[in-house]
Every structure is written in structure tokens, then in C-alpha cells.
Amino acid sequence: MQYRKLGQTGLTVSALGFGCMRLPKLKDDPRVVDRDASVALFLRAYELGVNFFDTAYLYDGGDSERALGEFLKHVPREKVIIQDKNPVGHQWWQIPGNEAPASLWRRCLEEMLERLGTDYIDVCLFHDTQMVTFRILVKAQNGLLQEALKAKEEGLIKHIGFSSHDTPYNIIRMIEMSDGAIESIVIQYNLLDRRNEPVIDYCLKNGIGVAIMGPIGGGRLIHPSEIYQKALGVKSTPELALRFVLSNPGVSTAMSGMNSLEQLEQNAAVASDTKQLSQQELELIDRLQRENERLLNLYCTGCSYCMPCPNGVNIPGNFAAMITLRVHGLRELAIQQYRALGEAIAEACVGCGECIGKCPQQIDIPNRLKEVAETFAALRK
């Protein structure tokens, strides 16, 4: 296993991090985490050199943290780095009652520690932080950041950070606004989504740790990509995706949500291989993606100005499936996306022309839908 510095925290983390959002579930109740299976996976990951485990208060109603707590009973606590996320300030989590946010943050932290069965959390994050919640809750006087700093002084947490899906500009601004308190962040980055590269560059220059979520594109890159595999001569798209993320010198760890031994073994093998993508391979990926951007403009940006369709066609959904096929080369995923449209597939288009003129890109929608219908009809044969 390769290891890297998590910014200037002093922590050394495994290149592969274990994302604990999609743990194995019980067969007779798929809503409940199978703790025995999860602990077995954690222990095998530990054997393979994984020392970084990422969870959250909100994952599986707390069962993710509880499963990690069971795992911690079997390993030296100081050998494992636990990253956990406090939900107060999460954009989708409604604050219950009239309790002050800082007080609630502290109460959630104590519950997180109890579920984990540990005295401290190595890296505690503000979960899914946006600029608006950062200003109103995190940076407020007597707000969440001050409460987190108090907890750090008490030794309940060792390092402070945040996860975010905000714009690259806002992510950098939130780090700057923290006056040095933010030591590590979690952001999305993968072959299909490179928008956060400026954030990664900024963090590398400023000693901020970077943990990547979604290195396999939220599962999309588990499917074979004919385009990338043919161009780069690789057999496995997930392997290429993980190697791509880890080839960025600003990435501290790539977190993968693994719920099977096979996934774990494969990812650990990639993260243990010191051979990174060559400059020539990275340049080839850049060329492919510039071509992809050109093709994207031929189909759709997903603005939905063309909707609703009087005949029930999901126009953006059909074009999204076509983009998955033609732009990213993910044939199996594209077929799944097209089937999922049900009766809203391109074959339902009657060429009425009501969508013509609505598209900001001036796409010839009826003819493009005809192309989509013919393409997926041929794939079904």
C-alpha cells in the first residue's frame, strides 16, 4: 500500500481510503448494515494496508459508525485514522427543534464518539458544506467552527475539515475564510468530473489535505469504457479511474465505497502499485476529454428548456444516455440508462417539432432523437 501525507496534519494516510457509506446489508433487510460482513471487510482492508476510514453521522442511521466501532475493538486505535462528518450545517439535514447550532453540533459529536466507541476522532468534518451555510453557521460568532476548535483543544477531535459539493471558487474561499482552521477537505474528482483540479492545486500549495470522494465516478466507471480502454490499452476502467485520481500529486487519498471483498482486493492492488500514469498517458486522456467536450455540445447540456414534451419523451434523459455511450464509451451503463426511461424513450417522439427553437444550443432535437432511437434499437439486436 502506498502512503501519503494528509496535508500538514502530520497524519500519513493510505492512498486507498475506505468509504463507509455503502456497507454490506442484511439479506433479509437491505436497509440494515450487516455488521459482521462489514467488520470482516474492514479487517481485510487493514491487513492490506488501508488505515483511513471515512464515515458520517448520517450514514445508515448511525450503523456505519457503529460498525466501525466494532472494528476498532480488534485493532490498535493509534494505527487507524477515522474521518467522521458532523451533520449540523449539512444542506439537506433539517436542524431539529430550537437548540443552538453550536450546542447541537457538540451533542452530535458526543453521539458520534459513543457510536464509534472511541475517545477521539482523527479528522472531523463539517458535512456537505456550502458557502451560505459556512457563512451563517460555521463562521458565525459562537458558531460551529468555534465549537469545533473547543473540541480540538479538549482532544475530542484532532483535525478539522469539511466536505463540499460547492463550486471550486467557493471551496477555496471557505478554506481562506477559516483562518487556518481547515486542515483537510473532501471533494469529488474523477475521470468524468475534473472541475476541482484548481482546488486540488490550491490545497497542494497551501498544505491542505485532500481526500477524494467518487474516484470511480459514483459507480459509473465500474462499467467498461470502450473509448478509454482502446485508447490507453487498459483492461479495467475502474483501475484506470483510480490510477488517474492517484496520479494527481495533490490527492492525499482516494476513498472508495467498497461492499465486497473483490472490490476491496482490486482497489488495494491498484493503490499498492507505485507505477503511476505516465505524462504521455495523461496527455492522451486530456486529448480524449477535449474531444468529449466537443461531442457533448453536439448532444445536450441538460438545461431542460425543451421540456415538457407533449408526447412524454424525456428529451434530456435520452441525450444523457447517448452521451454516456458516445462520449464516455460506457456501453452497458448507457443501455441501463435508456431502459430506465421506460415509455419516455426516443421512440416515442412523433416529430411534432414543439421543442424546435427552445434549445439554447439550437440542437435539431427531433432528428437527434431519431438518431438515439436507431442507435439503441441496434444495440438491442
**CA 69-73-75 angle, 5° bins:** 110
Separation CA 359–CA 23 (nearest Å): 42
Whose CA is closest to 225, among 234, 22, 248, 340? 234
Q: In this predicted structure, which of 51-60, 73-82, 334-343, 355-364 has the lowest mean pLDDT?
A: 355-364
- pLDDT of amino acid 331: 82
Separation CA 318–CA 328 (nearest Å): 15
Q: What percent of the chain has pLDDT over 70?
A: 92
- pLDDT of amino acid 379: 87
Whose CA is closest to 222, among 194, 251, 257? 257
Model confidence at 287, pLDDT cuts 50, 70, 90, reads confident
* CA pseudo-torsion sign 317, 318, 322, 327: negative
Q: Is 18 helix (H, G, I), strand (E, B) or coil?
A: strand
Mean pLDDT in residue range 144-162? 98
Task: Give the max Cα distance, the chain.
Answer: 68
Mean pLDDT in residue range 14-37? 92
Place of cell 484506470: 240
Model confidence at 232, pLDDT cuts 50, 70, 90, reads low
CB 196 within 8 A of CB 163: no
Separation CA 280–CA 307 (nearest Å): 43
Place of cell 488501508: 50
Q: Which is more confidently placed, 331 or 291?
A: 331
Q: Which is more confidently placed, 293 or 271?
A: 271
Mean pLDDT in residue range 167-194? 94
Instruction: Supply the mean pLDDT for the chain.
Output: 89
The full length of the chain comes to 381
Mean pLDDT in residue range 128-156? 95
C-alpha cell at 94: 433539517
Kindly give the residue spans of alpha helices, DSSP state H, lying in the chain. Answer: 35-47, 63-72, 101-116, 131-133, 144-153, 168-177, 197-206, 226-232, 237-246, 261-272, 279-299, 315-326, 331-340, 365-380
Q: In this predicted structure, which of 116-125, 169-178, 199-208, 241-250 has the lowest mean pLDDT?
A: 241-250
Q: Alpha carbon of 185 to those of 84, 87, 196, 337: distances in Å? A: 12, 15, 12, 32
Mean pLDDT in residue range 264-272? 92
Separation CA 188–CA 215 (nearest Å): 7
pLDDT tens column, 334-375: 898 899 999 999 999 999 989 988 887 788 899 889 999 999
Q: Is 53 helix (H, G, I), strand (E, B) or coil?
A: strand
Mean pLDDT in residue range 299-307? 80
- pLDDT of amino acid 296: 60
Topology adopted by domain 3-277: TIM Barrel (3.20.20)
* 62 φ/ψ angles, rounded to the nearest 5 degrees: 100, -10
Concatenate the DSSP letters of all residues of 147-165 into one string: HHHHHHHTTSEEEEEEE--
Is beta strand 29-33 parallel, antiparallel or unpaired with respect to 25-26?
Answer: antiparallel
Q: Is the pLDDT of residue 92 over 60?
A: yes
**CA torsion angle 367 324 23 86 (round to 10):** -80
Q: Can you give the pTM of this predicted structure?
A: 0.80
Separation CA 366–CA 87 (nearest Å): 45
| Domains of the chain by residue range | 3-277, 283-380
Mean pLDDT in residue range 24-44? 92
Model confidence at 198, pLDDT cuts 50, 70, 90, reads very high
* CA pseudo-torsion sign 292, 298, 299, 300: positive
Separation CA 218–CA 333 (nearest Å): 12
Separation CA 35–CA 20 (nearest Å): 12
- pLDDT of amino acid 124: 98
At 366, which amino acid appears?
P
- pLDDT of amino acid 281: 80
CB 57 within 8 A of CB 84: yes
**CA 215-220-221 angle, 5° bins:** 60
- pLDDT of amino acid 219: 56
Q: Which residues are CB-contacts of 108 (< 8 A; sequence separation ≥ 6)?
A: 57, 86, 87, 88
Q: Is the pLDDT of residue 227 over 70?
A: no
